[in-house]
Structure 1
Amino acid sequence: MKVEEALHMVGGAGETSYASNSRLQEKAIIRTKDILEKALKNINGEVVSKSLVVADLGCSSGPNAFLVISQIISALMEAGCQKAKEIVFLLNDLPGNDFNTIFRSLSLYEKKVKEENGDQVLPYFVAGVPGSFYGKLFPRNSLHFAHSSYSLMWLSQVPVGIENGGVNINKGNIYISRTSPPIVSKLYLEQFKRDFSSFLKFRSQELVNGGQMILSFLGRKSSDPSKAELCHFYDLVADALNSMVQEGVLEEEKVNTFNMPFYAASKEEVQQVIQSEGSFYIEQMQILESNWDPFDDSDDDQVFDNVKSGHNVAKCMRAVLEPLLVRHFGEQAFVDQVFARYAQNVAMHLHKEKTKHIVFILALKAKDLNN
């Protein structure tokens, strides 16, 4: 399975679409608002001559793409728009992304902006840029600001070596698990280091000196990746798939050869890659915790409906995983059953333990490598 061809969120605006099931990602974008405003204020005062060029890397489709645009426009207006005369937004994602939904919605978004702000809004232009952000996307020294939300935990490929001589060494699992051989964690970490280093290298070439990035992505607190929060998250998917194998619904070989192109890094691993690659300063790093259920804003000691949360989590997960599952297993019909079982598994897990997602938010500033 080629990740660049298979990895994309469920398109459109239907019940199972990413557009309708991306509140978890929305919450992370909202939480970056203060950091984003500070970064843009610095850029606007230091390096912008006329047009401010912004890239949203891993934009996906739906309202979150426009939320990022709105936050940037608002931040610049609040900062007084000292130098920027116009804004260019470059929306990037893999070629399978539903860019059509974004651009069909653009006129409605522009109308809303004008109604809210009148003629005070800076002129802005929006373009789509398909391609992997682990490679070169833009001309050198062409970007002032780059943003990426909930994207950098996705790898460019399943780690090399997971399948050894045609045998999957992580049999029965779809990600790092407590039953995975130790080499599996090592292979995932090595792939993350390669990919994140490539991301930083190419962005350092594309950003102007003094340009900045705001990145948010899923990570982990535990030093042991096999005991991290997201291992439980994907173990419950594996349990749903394996139960369907036991009942003869899915082929065991198909399940055993499905592996997630995903890695939840630790804070130390993220910092080590940034320091080793050497192109950016870490201006700020925050760690957020968010309930698995995007609609559950309660504290740990508050009563919540774990069955309802199971359904909410399954809908969110389906909007992300369905294209990967259909591409690997080759059929659409079984998807409803997978996520019905997953919803039950999540509900049972949350009844025992209210687990949270760990989200890293980083503000990075490009170094002047000419000095």
Structure 2
Amino acid sequence: MASKQMVHMNHGQGETSYAHNSSFQSAEQNRMKPLIEAAIVELCSNTTTMSHGKMVIADLGCSCGPNAVALVSIALEATHSHFLWLRQPPPEVSVLLNDLPYNDFNAVVKSLVAVRQIGEPLVVTGAVPGSFNERLFLSASVHLFCSSNSLYWLSKAPEDLRINQIPAYDIDENARRERLPVVAGAYAQQFRKDFTLFLQLRAKELVPEGRMVVSLQGRRSDEPVTESSLIWGTAAQILGTMASEV
């Protein structure tokens, strides 16, 4: 439980805050826009799903800063535009933002004030602190889940590595290369477990024929060192050195 409480992005609006250092994440969210808009059109066109004139939209791993409300804002604007085109009153919408408990929810709540002004006739908002590796919402209650650059955060380090005292990144290059298949395999297995659980939980929380739009980074090559991964190797080496000096 301690890890769930401690992990968070840098709070506030300072130079080192997440709010001022999240342009990469913002670009990824922009690429999700057509997918979210398409999901909204599909939802709003389904008379069974929208039979009660209400919609619940949830962002999993919202973090803080301007990115926190970006995805739900896209969904709200798409909903409003679709019903304006239909010349029909839009549904009442509940927007729920989720992240771990130590996220800067004070800043998130301030951002939600602007979100409430996007939709008509009614948009209610709320924060849902907790891990998305657990149940967060009522059964069959959410119409649209969104998540960007969050699902590769694992619930825990692989148990096999912990038991055998194998570090995720060894400063010794030879040892690191030798252990790479074991380390990569352990993390891949943990991701499969977490992602399978994530899908099972969301399946319970989605309304029938609900939608989910998620994005996460990947790579095409199985090679441990590629042009795109060099920066991560450098960052890992720096972090490993810092950790050894603590």
Structure 1-normalised TM-score? Answer: 0.59
| Whole-angstrom CA distance in 2 between matches of 1:36 and 1:188 | 29
> Any gaps of 5 or more consecutive residues in structure 2?
none
Q: Which residue of 1 aligns with 2:235?
A: 237
Contact in 2 for aligned 1:73/1:122 (Cα 8 Å): no
> Any gaps of 5 or more consecutive residues in structure 1?
115-119, 255-328, 330-371
| Whole-angstrom CA distance in 1 between matches of 2:228 and 2:163 | 25
Q: Which residue of 2 aligns with 1:185?
A: 184
Corresponding residue SS for 1:152: coil
| Whole-angstrom CA distance in 1 between matches of 2:221 and 2:29 | 24
Match status 1:172 vs 2:171 = yes
| Whole-angstrom CA distance in 2 between matches of 1:199 and 1:159 | 17
Match status 1:67 vs 2:70 = yes
**What is the RMSD computed on CA atoms of the aligned residues?**
2.5
| Whole-angstrom CA distance in 1 between matches of 2:41 and 2:155 | 33
Give the C-alpha shift of residue 171 in structure 1.
2.5
Corresponding residue SS for 2:152: coil
Give the C-alpha shift of residue 17 in structure 1.
0.8
Q: Which residue of 2 aligns with 1:96?
A: 102
| Whole-angstrom CA distance in 1 between matches of 2:228 and 2:154 | 15
Give the C-alpha shift of residue 13 in structure 1.
1.2
| Whole-angstrom CA distance in 2 between matches of 1:180 and 1:231 | 18
Contact in 1 for aligned 2:62/2:69 (Cα 8 Å): no
| Whole-angstrom CA distance in 1 between matches of 2:134 and 2:74 | 27
Q: Label 1:7 to 1:51 Cα distance change in 2 as closer, same or farther (>3 A).
A: same
Aligned AA for 2:182?
Answer: I
Q: Label 1:91 to 1:207 Cα distance change in 2 as closer, same or farther (>3 A).
A: same
Corresponding residue SS for 1:134: coil
Q: Deviations over 1:302-353 (max 9, x none)?
A: xxxxxxxxxxxxxxxxxxxxxxxxxxx5xxxxxxxxxxxxxxxxxxxxxxxx
| Whole-angstrom CA distance in 2 between matches of 1:7 and 1:189 | 21
Q: Label 1:158 to 1:167 Cα distance change in 2 as closer, same or farther (>3 A).
A: closer
Q: Which residue of 1 aligns with 2:17?
A: 17
Q: Work out the percentage of aligned pairs sharing the same amino acid.
A: 35
Give the C-alpha shift of residue 134 in structure 1.
1.0
Corresponding residue SS for 1:209: strand
Q: Which residue of 2 aligns with 1:257?
A: none
Aligned AA for 2:181?
Answer: P
Q: Deviations over 1:126-161 (max 9, x none)?
A: 100011101111111010010001101111111112
Structure 2-normalised TM-score? Answer: 0.86
> Which structure 2 residues correspond to residues 139-178 of structure 1 after superposition, within 5 A?
139-166=138-165, 168=167, 170-172=169-171, 178=177
Moved more, 144-153 or 80-89: 80-89
| Whole-angstrom CA distance in 2 between matches of 1:135 and 1:149 | 18
Give the C-alpha shift of residue 15 in structure 1.
1.0
Give the C-alpha shift of residue 228 in structure 1.
4.9
Contact in 1 for aligned 2:83/2:90 (Cα 8 Å): no
| Whole-angstrom CA distance in 2 between matches of 1:132 and 1:140 | 17
Aligned AA for 1:99?
Answer: F
